[in-house]
């Protein structure tokens, strides 16, 4: 178990390193003088020289990467060109908003998906199943940003029940904070809920075909016991892996949703950074998102043996 944990931890190191290389290279691939690119539209030769020296542009590429990477490890992601903020604290502050939306969506998506998938699989081939399957495809086919717009149109503009744009921190005002989160969370969870349900349904169908399910029935167990006690845990483990992978699309989707509802989140920050050609922010945001993704999947893999004892090493 400990060996497995250490091995899995060590596996993330090269991945994270490569992620850093990719982010670093990405900015270097932007056509033109990296210093000019980094400084952006500020037309000041003094700053330009300063940045050049800072980036060590006379050094080799490898050396430049080393200098940059040492700083990144140290938590120094540079300074935003938009407003001179330190990038890392700014990112973390924005991430707090994104995390709320993403985690809430995921929680509700899973809470709806698991029983729905189980229901569909246990009634496989019935009208209930076919209906659920169709609704899932439909909700996969509605882009989250359009779902957001429709929700705004109905609950914000027409009915006036909920605020359409803006953000109030839950810490400052719980009731208002929640009000601002409801619509973005719903818009974001539709697609993910469908993905998880489909995964749950198909794994359940596979599990229900195994002999140990027939064996459980042959012992005279109730159908509900067979489903929840025997089939569900076995179907849940593979579904868990999908949750880790879904995080990527949730974080990506958040960038768009945050733009729709003008939430001050990480995605919105990144998009603004791209508009403003604020490369330290773009670099930092991409790095942070990838880091979160890798760590989340590490956690999923480490949790996996709890649900599937065969993986216990």
Is 30 a binding residue for other proteins by CB under 8 A? The answer is: yes
Given 109, 255, 263, 281, the residue binding other proteins (CB under 8 A): 255
Residue 293, interface with other proteins (CB under 8 A)? yes
Burial 54-84 (b: 16+ CB within 10 A, else e): ebeeeeeeeebbeebeeebeeeebbebbbee
Is the C-alpha dihedral spanning 170, 175, 181, 185 positive or negative? Answer: positive
Can you tell me the distance from the alpha carbon of 119 to that of 175, in angstroms, rounded to the nearest whole number?
34
Question: To the nearest whole angstrom, how small is the minimum distance from the Cβ of residue 266 to other proteins?
Answer: 10
Size of the site for other proteins (CB under 8 A): 81
Q: Which of residues 113-132 bind other proteins (CB under 8 A)?
A: 124-125, 129-130
Residues 132-191 that bind other proteins (CB under 8 A): 133-134, 137-138, 140-143, 145-146, 149-150, 152-153, 157
Please say which residue, 90 or 288, places its beta carbon nearer to other proteins: 288
Phi first, then psi, for residue 60 (nearest 5°) are -70, 165
- Which of 78, 184, 253, 265 binds other proteins (CB under 8 A)? It is 253
Residues 5-24 that bind other proteins (CB under 8 A): 14-15, 18-19, 22-23
- Shortest distance, CB of residue 66 to other proteins, whole angstroms? 18
Among 38, 106, 251, 263, binds other proteins (CB under 8 A): 251
Question: Would you say 9 or 274 has its CB closer to other proteins?
Answer: 274
- What is the spatial distance between Cα 96 and Cα 118, in angstroms, rounded to a whole number? 33
Contact 9, 298 (CB under 8 A): yes
Residue 108 burial (C-beta neighbours within 10 Å; 0-12, 13-18, 19+):
middle
215 binds other proteins (CB under 8 A): yes
Q: How many residues does the chain have?
A: 313
Pick the closer one to other proteins by CB: 183 or 282: 282
Other beta carbons within 10 angstroms of residue 225's beta carbon come to: 14
Residue 34 as a binder of other proteins (CB under 8 A): the answer is no
User: Does residue 78 interact with other proteins by CB under 8 A?
Assistant: no
Q: Please state, as a whole number, how many other Cβ atoms lie within 10 Å of the Cβ of residue 241.
A: 15
Q: CB of residue 214 vs other proteins: minimum separation in angstroms?
A: 6
- Give the residues across from 79 on adjacent strands: 86
Applying CB under 8 A, among 111, 252, 299, 313 the residue interacting with other proteins is 252
């Amino acid at each position: 178990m400990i060996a497995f944990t250490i091995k899995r931890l060590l596996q993330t190191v090269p991945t994270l390193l490569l992620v850093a290389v990719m982010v670093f290279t990405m900015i270097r691939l932007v056509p033109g003088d990296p210093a000019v690119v980094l400084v952006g539209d500020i037309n000041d030769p003094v700053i330009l020289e300063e940045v050049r020296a800072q980036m060590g542009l006379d050094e080799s590429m490898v050396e430049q990467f080393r200098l940059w990477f040492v700083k990144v490890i140290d938590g120094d992601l540079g300074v935003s060109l938009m407003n001179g903020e330190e990038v890392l604290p700014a990112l973390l502050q924005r991430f707090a908003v994104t995390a709320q939306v993403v985690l809430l969506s995921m929680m509700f998506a899973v809470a709806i998906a698991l029983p729905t998938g189980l229901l569909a699989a246990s009634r496989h081939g019935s009208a209930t199943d076919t209906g659920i399957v169709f609704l899932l495809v439909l909700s996969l086919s509605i882009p989250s940003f359009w779902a957001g717009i429709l929700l705004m149109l109905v609950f914000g503009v027409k009915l006036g029940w909920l605020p359409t744009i803006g953000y109030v921190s839950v810490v400052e005002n719980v009731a208002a904070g929640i009000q601002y989160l409801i619509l973005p969370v719903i818009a974001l969870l539709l697609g993910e809920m469908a993905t998880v349900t489909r995964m749950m349904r198909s794994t359940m169908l596979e599990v229900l075909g195994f002999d140990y399910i027939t064996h459980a029935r042959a012992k005279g167990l109730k159908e509900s016991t067979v489903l929840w006690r025997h089939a569900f845990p076995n179907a849940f483990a593979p579904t868990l892996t999908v949750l880790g992978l879904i995080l990527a699309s949730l974080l990506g989707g958040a960038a768009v949703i945050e733009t729709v509802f003008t939430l001050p989140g990480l995605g919105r920050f990144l998009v603004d950074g791209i508009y403003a050609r604020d490369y330290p922010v773009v670099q930092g945001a991409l790095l942070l998102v990838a880091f979160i993704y890798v760590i989340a999947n590490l956690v999923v893999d480490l949790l996996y043996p709890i649900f599937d004892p065969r993986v216990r090493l």
